[in-house]
Structure 1
Amino acid sequence: MAFSAPEPELSVVVPTLNEAETVATLLAALAAQRDVALELLLCDGGSTDGTAALVRGRAGDLPFPVTVTETPPGRGRQMNAGAAAARGATFLFLHADSIIADPLALRRGLDHLAAARRSDKRAAGHFRLRFAGDSPSPLAYRFYERKARLHRPGCTHGDQGLLIPREFFDQVGPFDEGLPILEDVRLAERIAAMGTWVLLPAEIITSARRFETEGLRERQTLNAILMNFAAIGWQQGVEELVAGYRSQDRSGRLRLGPHLARIAGLTAALPRQERLRLWYLTGGYVRGNAWQIPLFLDVRNAWRRGGDDGATPLLSLHDRWFDLLTDNPAGRAAAALMTFLWFRLTLRREMKDWPGILRTP
């Protein structure tokens, strides 16, 4: 719609696909933001539930300009389209199910990022994360929230809200459009390599609906395997898992067994030397992420005490000793063996009702 307004300070880019049930909450949260001139660019990937029409219908009641564009599906493609149409000096890439409760969150985020950029022009920010939902595993969510505050590889994702100055995005972007997922992780890695991530003072509440629908253990297990394949460069494994990834509106309870069985089949088809190399690289990735175990224990200990003071003594111990002692071929090989045994045992347990699939060597 046409909207006569000053040049926006902030362009909020939101990719959507069948988000009619959630986007109204986001619109209300953005409308409540104070002391910031923003615009909204909603990039719809082919919704069939009226998401685009709903936002267009409410645009006239919002205190900021709204642009709705329709693109082929794929979050990377959608967000690139939004960035190309944006007018603001800073971009905020945001998920449609995000909730921003603090009316000064965006103002505080912009000010905090501006202060950081006085010492490093190539700085980008992400918000603190909190999960919403009826969770049977509150400790697990506390762990993921704490992990999202770190700037280690694999810790920064799109559900934290990515606040990036336009000029820096022009250097590190665009988002990867080759896969329907992982576009946020790949951009986060490029930002970390070229500049600095900044933890912003405000908080974004994100929905736990995918975990609740698919199963927390099942979804995070597949996420971890996918991240490993992407990190070690095994494109065939990435494509296999991406092919089974469903959009939120089509998701249901996950069964790990069939996914793991297909991965076992793919690895079994590789030449022996290549298969050993794949497991060795996987061991290196697993060893490099072993810090998540002491972090979880630190979070559990704080949770049992009824709070979180941010202290991570076990993680610090890991970084000082365990990481150094295992950062070698023997450490990577040991991690590879343990991961292989975990994989085979998990596959056998998950596929106990499908014995025929277990014949893969």
Structure 2
Amino acid sequence: MLSIIIPVFNEEKYLPLLLKHIRKVSSGNIAEIIVVDGGSTDNTLLIAKNAPEVKLLISEKGRAIQMNTGAKKASSEILYFLHADSLPPKDFDGLILKEINKGNKAGCFMMKFDKKHWWLNLVSQFTRVNHISCRGGDQSLFITKQLFEEIGGFDESYRVYEDNEIIKRLYQKNQFTVIKKWLITSARLYKRMGIWNTQLLFLQIYWKRRFGASAEELYMHYYKRVNS
């Protein structure tokens, strides 16, 4: 059994779709769905409260903080971190358990976007490759609770790039696999900012991190461009 942990902030559009999707495609191996809200001002809280399968937690805003909060309250020995706008494949819970039973303690799914564009299609194909440069949080993350605690969970100093940071530590421990099934994620940032502006932003964040930028510098660079 696994615990699904979903960090949310103003996700009234996507959270109902995700919960419905989980009900439809899971194979009965879910111990709980933990939704961790970071101060939503829309109907996200009401949606979570009215979903009988959801355990709602309130947290300080910040995905790393929210996901750590969820992990601390999780009852299962397998954690599955999932963004509200990402839809995992059919039998995702069974597929994760299969990998755990094979000795793979952490990993993700391949990822496609919900928008058709040749560049996004190309980017999606790279997620087949089990290399750190092809990873990102929208692909979701499963990990044993023991390994999660061993590496110290998410680094809460990161307000962006927190998924990549923890995945880097997992690759350093040779503990990462890619399940060859497609997860579908929203291209909402690409739609809002444009394909090339968004891709440029991600490349800038990646290289800034490679050259030693701090977590705060990454945050300031990201939000300056997203909110401009």
Candidates 38, 51, 66, aligned match of 1:58: 51
- 8 Å contact kept, 1:14–1:42: yes
Q: Which residue of 2 aligns with 1:44?
A: 37
Candidates 76, 83, 88, aligned match of 1:95: 83
Q: Which residue of 2 aligns with 1:220?
A: 199
- 8 Å contact kept, 1:129–1:204: yes
- 8 Å contact kept, 2:38–2:66: yes
Candidates 24, 27, 48, aligned match of 1:34: 27
1:156 aligns with 2:149: no
Length-normalised TM-score, structure 2: 0.92
Matches within 5 A, 1:134-213: 135=116, 138-213=117-192
Q: Which residue of 2 aligns with 1:80?
A: 68
Query: CA offset at residue 239 of structure 1?
Result: 4.7
2-side partners of 1:201 and 1:35: how far apart?
20
Unaligned runs of 5+ in 1: 1-8, 255-361
Matches within 5 A, 1:283-322: none
Question: Which fold has the larger relative contact order, with Cα–Cα distance below 8 Å and residues 6 or more apart in sequence?
Answer: 2
Query: CA offset at residue 245 of structure 1?
Result: 5.7
1:124-156 CA-to-partner distances (Å, cap 9, x unmatched) read: 1101111102x4xx2211221112222323321
- 8 Å contact kept, 2:159–2:219: no
Query: CA offset at residue 89 of structure 1?
Result: 1.1
Say which structure is richer in helix.
1
1-side partners of 2:96 and 2:107: how far apart?
8
1:264-295 CA-to-partner distances (Å, cap 9, x unmatched) read: xxxxxxxxxxxxxxxxxxxxxxxxxxxxxxxx
Task: Give 2:145's aligned amino acid.
Answer: R
Length-normalised TM-score, structure 1: 0.59
> Which has more radius of gyration?
1
2-side partners of 1:245 and 1:51: how far apart?
26
The 3 A distance-change label for structure 1 pair 204 and 41 is same
2-side partners of 1:169 and 1:15: how far apart?
17
2-side partners of 1:50 and 1:24: how far apart?
11
1-side partners of 2:135 and 2:14: how far apart?
23
Task: Give 2:43's aligned amino acid.
Answer: G
Q: Which residue of 2 aligns with 1:108?
A: 95
Q: Which residue of 1 aligns with 2:16?
A: 24
1-side partners of 2:213 and 2:175: how far apart?
28
Q: Which residue of 1 aligns with 2:112?
A: 130
- 8 Å contact kept, 1:44–1:70: yes
Q: Which residue of 2 aligns with 1:328?
A: none
The 3 A distance-change label for structure 1 pair 82 and 154 is same
Unaligned runs of 5+ in 2: none
Q: Which residue of 2 aligns with 1:284?
A: none
Between the two proteins, what is the percent identity of the paired residues?
Answer: 26
Query: CA offset at residue 233 of structure 1?
Result: 0.7
Query: CA offset at residue 58 of structure 1?
Result: 2.1
CA RMSD of aligned residues (A): 1.8
Query: CA offset at residue 200 of structure 1?
Result: 1.1
1:180-199 CA-to-partner distances (Å, cap 9, x unmatched) read: 11100000000000132111
Pick which of 222-231 and 180-189 moved more: 222-231
- 8 Å contact kept, 2:7–2:63: yes
1:70 aligns with 2:50: no
Instruction: Give the 3-state SS of the residue equivalent to 2:133 in structure 1.
Output: coil
- 8 Å contact kept, 2:89–2:181: no
The 3 A distance-change label for structure 1 pair 189 and 21 is same
- 8 Å contact kept, 2:9–2:40: yes
Query: CA offset at residue 230 of structure 1?
Result: 1.1
- 8 Å contact kept, 2:10–2:42: yes
Instruction: Give the 3-state SS of the residue equivalent to 1:77 in structure 2.
Output: helix
Query: CA offset at residue 237 of structure 1?
Result: 4.7
1-side partners of 2:204 and 2:180: how far apart?
31
1-side partners of 2:172 and 2:208: how far apart?
20
- 8 Å contact kept, 1:94–1:162: yes
- 8 Å contact kept, 1:45–1:78: yes
1:240 aligns with 2:228: no
How many residue pairs were aligned? 226
Task: Give 1:68's aligned amino acid.
Answer: L
